[in-house]
Structure 1
């Protein structure tokens, strides 16, 4: 039992496989975006050096 006295059932925690896949896809897209942004930033920094 939680501090509030409300105990959620197991369904409150259970995500479907499709939900999990979509969350993973979103995270992968974000990571890919971050990597591209890092690569662009590194390219700009290396251009500034020379």
Structure 2
């Protein structure tokens, strides 16, 4: 997963900085969303 993210960051070097920032924050938001979903699923499965 980290290798995939690093490759994407490397591919973004040729793009405008605002696109790099957008992708960066989008990835952070995606990771947070996945973490919330996984924690919710774990709580549901425990009950």
TM-score between both structures, scaled by the size of structure 2: 0.66
Answer with 1 or 2: which has the greater Rg. Answer: 1
Gaps of 5+ in 1: 1-15
Structure with higher helix content: 2
TM-score between both structures, scaled by the size of structure 1: 0.62
* 4+ runs deviating over 2 angstroms: none
Gaps of 5+ in 2: 1-14
Larger RCO: 1 or 2 (CA < 8 Å, sep 6+)? 2
Aligned pair count reads 33
